Every structure is written in C-alpha cells, then in structure tokens.
C-alpha cells in the first residue's frame, strides 16, 4: 500500500500499527483528533524505520506543539509535498521544514498560525522545485527589501530592491495575500508585479487575504493594485493564467484593464474579486467578461446584483436630498 488516509474514531496508537505494515508508503494523510494523545516518538520511529519513503504528508493535528511538529518533520527523509492546515506552530517547525526546501514541490500552509511574511519570502527564495504554494501573507517590504527611514529620505520611491530573488519560477499555483502596500507609491506596486511576472507558468494566481469580511466587499486597501497604470502589463508573460483571485482587495479597475486581461491571457476563465468600488462600474466590467464567458463569482452582499436603473435611482434620490455623489475612482490610494 502506497497511500493512506487516516480519519476516524480509532486511537492514534492503533493507526501506528497499521502504518508499520506499509513499508512502501509514500502518501500519508492523517487527521488526529484533538482529544487523542499524539504518539510523537512512535510517528518518528515509523518514518525512520518502517516507512522511509513517505514523501507526501498532510497532517491535521491542531493540538500538536511546535517542538512535536519539528521532530516529526525531522523524522521524514525527503518530502516533496507538505500540507499543514489549522496548526499553531513556530520557528522550530519552520526550521525543520527548511531541511526539505530543495525537494518540496507542493507546500500548503493556509492556516499556519505563526507563519510570518519573512518566512514566506524565504520559501520563495529557497524552494526552487515548488509548483504550488499556499501561505498567509507576504509583505511588500520583505519582497523588495527593507528600507529604513534615513535611506528613504530624498528618494523617489523609498525602496531599494535588495531582498533575495525568488527562485520558484516553476510555480503553477500561488495563493498568498500580498500586503503592506497601503499608502505606498505606484512604484511599490510596479516592483511587486515585476517579481510576480517571473512566474510565467502560473495557471492560478491569488493575491488576496484568505479571511476577509464580506460585509465590506470592496476590501482592504493594503493589497496589490492590479491596473495598467500600476504595472499590470508586466504580467503579459503569464500566458497560461486561467484564474485570477483578488478577493478582499480594494480595486479601481477600468475597462482598459479588463480588456487587456482578456486579450493578454487567452486561457483566463475565472476573475474573482470586487473590480471597482462603484457598483455601476462593476456591472459594466462584469458585462465585458460575461461576453467572453469569463466567470466572475458574485458574493451575496455584492452590489453587482443591482440593476443599473436601480443604482441610478438611488443616485438621483441622493442628489434630490442635497447629498453629494463621489465616483471615488481617484488614484489617491497609490499615489
């Protein structure tokens, strides 16, 4: 047996006996119940003595401590795929994970409490075989290199690109919230986009937060601005891109931005996120995408469900009541 999926009411110790009988095991997915004591030493022994060929590990064990997970990773000979959902871990686990950086091809740390932006940057600069990455956040300052206040004075952008280069240029799926851009000049967005442009094999790109409140469908202004004026055209190298997700990130896209995406990314079939703060503009952009059969999933609270006539009636009412109407499509968010 080369694959095992362990999930049920059986005690973890009993599963250990089962795993020991699978010397050719390569893929292990194990959900360890929170109230079930985890036999860490036995797991390590199994990996070292009985199943040395395990190379894909999905471990759902929210109650494991940092040092426990670190020991388990140290017990694995060679990992090409690792997924750790809903775990609270720290630097010890990350240090042990780094032993596998040269072999990892798939890494999913979507609810990895304790994963810092600097750690994610280290992954991007180290895992050259990586084809799929899911992480929490990646701050622009870590992508581009730190710049202290004194060095920023008198410079146009306040940044100096001195961080480690990304080596995982074979990535096909990237799902990380790129943040730290609120109030920054356009040049910051341009430089981050230029980094992304090196990943020419991407089929799925997600740059929004994994958790955000739908009650504010326009999203945070701390994310990446995806417009031609902020350097979007650098992503013309992504000819394989089929899905673009920017859920929870404030955008002010115009028709030219959307038409550029359609013409430049021939395989695009999903564009998900709030494209503009103005519901009328969102509706117009939706129509352009629908004409090309590109899916734009709608959130329950998204105002795209309104008709243009209803939106205009609301605007007229506002003007009659003496309220001023603002398009709010300015560029103050990036300039």
Q: Residue 275: its pLDDT value, please?
A: 96
Q: In the Cβ-directed half-sphere of 93, how many Cα atoms lie within 13 Å?
A: 21
Closest-CA residue to 239 (of 271, 264, 206) = 264
Residue 101 to residue 129: CA distance in whole angstroms: 8
Helix axes 279-291, 308-320, angle to 10 degrees: 170
Look up residue 50 and give its DSSP letter.
I
Token pair, residue 60, equals 């759902």
Q: Residue 297: its pLDDT value, please?
A: 82
For every one of its 335 residues, what pLDDT tens digit does the chain have, with 9 covering 90 and above? Answer: 899 999 877 888 889 999 999 999 999 999 887 777 778 899 999 999 999 999 999 988 777 888 989 999 999 999 999 998 877 778 999 999 999 999 999 999 977 678 899 999 999 999 999 999 999 999 999 999 864 333 342 344 444 445 689 999 999 999 999 999 999 999 999 999 999 999 999 999 999 997 654 434 578 999 999 999 999 999 999 999 999 999 999 999 999 999 999 999 999 999 999 999 999 999 999 999 999 999 998 654 443 333 333 333 444 443 334 332 233 334 434 33
Token pair, residue 122, equals 């280290």
Residue 218 to residue 278: CA distance in whole angstroms: 9
Residue 100 to residue 197: CA distance in whole angstroms: 26
Which residues, in sequence order, are CB contacts of 250 under 8 Å at separation 6+? 218, 219, 220, 221, 223, 274, 277, 333
Query: In 10 A of CB 224, how many CB atoms?
Result: 26
Token pair, residue 201, equals 């094999």
Q: Residue 326: its pLDDT value, please?
A: 31
Q: Residue 18: its pLDDT value, please?
A: 92
Look up residue 252 and give its DSSP letter.
-
Which residues, in sequence order, are CB contacts of 263 under 8 Å at separation 6+? none
Q: Residue 217: its pLDDT value, please?
A: 58
- Write out the E strands in the chain: 3-6, 27-31, 56-60, 81-83, 87-88, 106-108, 112-113, 132-139, 173-179, 204-206, 243-245, 270-272
Tallying the residues shown for the chain, one arrives at 335
Look up residue 110 and give its DSSP letter.
T
Which residues, in sequence order, are CB contacts of 243 under 8 Å at separation 6+? 203, 204, 205, 206, 268, 269, 270, 271, 272
Q: Residue 325: its pLDDT value, please?
A: 24
């Amino acid at each position: 047996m080369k694959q095992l999926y362990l999930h049920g009411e059986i005690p973890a110790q009993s599963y250990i006996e089962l795993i020991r009988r699978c010397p050719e095991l390569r893929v292990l997915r194990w959900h360890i119940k929170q109230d079930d004591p985890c036999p860490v030493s036995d797991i390590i022994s199994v990996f070292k003595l009985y199943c040395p060929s395990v190379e894909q590990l999905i471990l759902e064990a929210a109650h494991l401590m940092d040092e426990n997970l670190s020991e388990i990773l140290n017990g694995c000979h060679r990992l090409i795929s690792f997924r750790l959902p809903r775990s609270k871990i720290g630097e010890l686990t990350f240090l042990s994970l780094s032993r596998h950086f040269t072999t990892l091809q798939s890494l999913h740390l979507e609810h990895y409490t304790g994963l810092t932006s600097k750690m994610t940057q280290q992954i991007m600069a180290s895992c050259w075989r990586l084809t799929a990455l899911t992480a929490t956040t990646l701050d622009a300052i870590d992508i581009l290199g730190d710049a202290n206040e004194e060095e920023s004075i008198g410079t146009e952008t306040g940044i100096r690109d001195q961080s480690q280069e990304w080596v995982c240029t074979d990535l096909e799926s990237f799902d990380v919230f790129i943040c730290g851009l609120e109030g920054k000049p356009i040049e910051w967005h341009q430089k981050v986009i230029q980094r992304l442009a090196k990943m020419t094999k991407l089929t799925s790109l997600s740059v929004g937060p994994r958790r955000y409140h739908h009650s504010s469908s326009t999203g945070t202004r701390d994310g990446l601005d995806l417009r031609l004026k902020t350097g979007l055209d650098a992503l013309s190298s992504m000819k394989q891109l089929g899905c673009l997700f920017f859920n929870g990130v404030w955008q002010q896209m115009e028709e030219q931005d959307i038409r550029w995406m359609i013409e430049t990314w021939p395989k695009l079939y999903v564009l998900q996120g709030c494209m503009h703060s103005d519901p009328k503009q969102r509706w117009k952009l939706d129509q352009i995408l629908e004409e090309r059969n590109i899916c734009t999933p709608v959130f329950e609270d998204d105002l795209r469900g309104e008709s243009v006539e209803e939106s205009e009636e609301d605007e007229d009412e506002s003007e009659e009541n003496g309220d001023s109407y603002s398009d709010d499509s300015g560029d103050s968010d990036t300039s």
